Amino acid sequence: MRRWVASLLLSLVTLTGCGVGGAPVRASLGARQALTSPPELLEFETSTTRLELYREVARISEMEAGQTAQAPVLFPISQRGELVAAPGFEARTDLLLAPDAGAPLQLIFDGRAGERWPEDRREGLQGLSEREAAELVARTLLAHWRINPSGGVQVDRASGAPYAAAYVDGILRINPAFLYMAAAQGPASLPGAGQ
């Protein structure tokens, strides 16, 4: 018995020394953790990982929908002077497919002090820039939430925020990490895409 235990230990030490079993296992990234991380980290995750994070965000959005936002929620909006969780959306919803609602919604991306939206195109955003992806997501979310302001909507970049998107006081703040999740759900993620 001692000989068997000794040979097992020797085998484990040998495998670890060769790099076969000693590599640390990476903990899976949760949606809330991904939102508070720099978007660049999420950009380099696999599309499968980003899609799973998007599905997690969608599930949470449906669970939180309509609740008062006393605790942190992923999609807080101001409604009749109260902060609540916005209506949820299904995991199959493509947020980069902005609805054509007739009258165009005026979105404002510059003009305030804060983070600027990058204009360089990113593979992780289906070839769009962050600003272009933010515009599509903003239009889709505002239409889904039935928000029809009379004036323009300021769209701010909120990297590291504990939420995916928030609409408060006429300002829509979008976490750029959420854009990388939403882009994983689009046409490029469908079976047979790119063939």
pLDDT tens for 68-99 read 877 788 999 987 788 889 999 999 999 998 77
For residue 123, give its domain range: 29-189
In angstroms, the CA 149 to CA 110 distance is 18
Number of domains in the chain: 1
pLDDT (0 to 100) of residue 195: 34
pLDDT (0 to 100) of residue 1: 44
Query: For 103-151, what is each residue's pLDDT tens digit?
Result: 578 888 876 667 888 899 998 898 999 999 999 999 999 999 988 888 8
38 located within any domain: yes
**167 pLDDT band (50/70/90 cuts)?**
very high
pLDDT (0 to 100) of residue 3: 45
97 located within any domain: yes
33 contacts: CB under 8 Å, gap ≥ 6: none
CA 191 to chain centre: 21
Hey, which bits of 44-91 come out as E strands? Answer: 76-79, 82-85
70 located within any domain: yes
Query: For 28-72, what is each residue's pLDDT tens digit?
Result: 678 888 999 888 888 888 889 999 999 999 999 999 998 887 778
Q: What is the pTM of this model?
A: 0.78
Report the mean per-residue pLDDT for the chain: 79
What is the helix (H) or strand (E) element at residue 155, kind and residue range?
strand 153-157
76 located within any domain: yes
DSSP type of residue 18: T
